[in-house]
Structure 1
Amino acid sequence: MSKSFTEQLSLINASTENRNRMRDFVLQNPEFLDDLITFGTDLTNKNHHKGVWIIEMLAEHQTELLAPFVDKICQTISNYKNDSAIRGISRVAYFLGISKNINLTESQHEKLVEICLDWLIRDERVACKVYAMKTLHHFGKKEPWIAEEVKDIVSRDYAYQSAGYKAAAREVLGKSK
């Protein structure tokens, strides 16, 4: 790993300017993509969430760049504990799940479904639950059992959740009809 690149990642803060700068750097220097993924999936690194921020931005703008790293992401995805990393990685899961440019293997698909269901059931922050719900809704279009599971979980938890969760739930449940 490039020491200077990982030092830059360790020093960034959550400002949009910093995150955009690092995203643009990786887009202009794709040889650092492997270092970024290694940094963001190294859960022993106290700053791994900062790598996830950039991975999330790449997933949103050029998901196909992550194709060679989907296995590594899927192997790590259920082990994140940092709230900031979980929020970001839930968006990565969403973008991987809806991407037309990435064909998930059966194993990758199963890992994403499993973690999204876990996030939806567990006591996670709203943003994570919303992205899990949206990812599962997408998968549920082809697999009715997933759509039914999401409907059951969301309907059961609806009354106890925040306004943001309820808005996303109405959207997802409305699209399911």
Structure 2
Amino acid sequence: MTNFKIRKYKNTVTEAELYEALNYVNHSREKRSYYAQMILNNLELVAPLLNILFTVDDKVSCRAAWVFEYACSADISISHRHLDYFTENINRVHLDPAVRPVAKVCELLIANHYKAKAVTPNVLSLDHRERITEACFDWMISDQKVAVKAYSMSTLYQLGREFDWIHPELLIILERDFAKESAAFKARARHIIKRLKSKR
């Protein structure tokens, strides 16, 4: 990490150097925040970070996903130049520790898109929204962690306010899976189901 910390203020950090640095990222908020801030300070690192994230069979991709999520949570606009690449590849992510932050970024993107005072309004194209919709439905019906499904159902609820076919499909999935899921899933699902039924 020392060599990378020395080089981080330069504009010539390579993807290989970023990959090496990501080996130092762990579950601590401190480490994730530190490397997220490094990305925010040098936006040229977003593209190589995403390249690493979408090397989906490599466990370092999970660390890249954690950092990308933290950076997007601080400033969602850093993703905007990369939305084609991001949305075209999200369905390839399959390692559990990477799927959760990717699902969270999708939720952040959709929340910002529909927010009255969005960071950058209208940045998500119809293709982007359709890819996110497809990924979220895939996560809802596959064997995913509760957090992934929670982010997905919230994202789909927001999307369903624009695309009227989404809410009925989401309600079917939530009611079908409610009994077999965990208490944490039920807590979020109960809230979404109530809102969906109130709109009938």
TM interval, short-chain normalised: over 0.9
* 1:144 alignment partner, SS class: coil
Aligned mates of 2:79, 2:189 — CA distance in 1: 28
C-alpha contact (below 8 Å) 2:37/2:71 kept by paired residues: no
One-letter code of the match for 2:136? C
Aligned mates of 2:55, 2:109 — CA distance in 1: 20
Alignment of 1:114-129 (within 5 A): 114-129=134-149
| Poorly superposed stretches of 4+, deviation over 6 Å | none
66-75 or 3-12, larger mean C-alpha shift: 3-12
- 1:155 alignment partner in structure 2: 175
Cα deviations by residue, 1:63-95 (Å, 9 ceiling, x for unpaired): 111001111111111111100001111101111
Normalization by structure 2: what TM-score?
0.83
Q: How much has 1:97 moved relative to structure 2?
A: 1.5
Aligned mates of 2:59, 2:186 — CA distance in 1: 33
One-letter code of the match for 2:64? G
- Residue identity over aligned pairs, in percent, reads 28
CA RMSD after TM alignment:
1.4
Asked which structure has the greater CA Rg, the reply is 2
Tell me, yes or no, if structure 1 residue 66 matches structure 2 residue 79.
yes
Instruction: Return the structure number with greater helix share.
Output: 1
Q: Give 5+ residue unaligned stretches, structure 2.
A: 1-13, 113-117
Q: How much has 1:54 moved relative to structure 2?
A: 0.9
User: Which of 30, 33, 36 is equivalent to 2:46?
Assistant: 33
Aligned mates of 1:18, 1:26 — CA distance in 2: 13
Alignment of 1:1-177 (within 5 A): 1-99=14-112, 100=118, 101=120, 103-176=123-196, 177=198
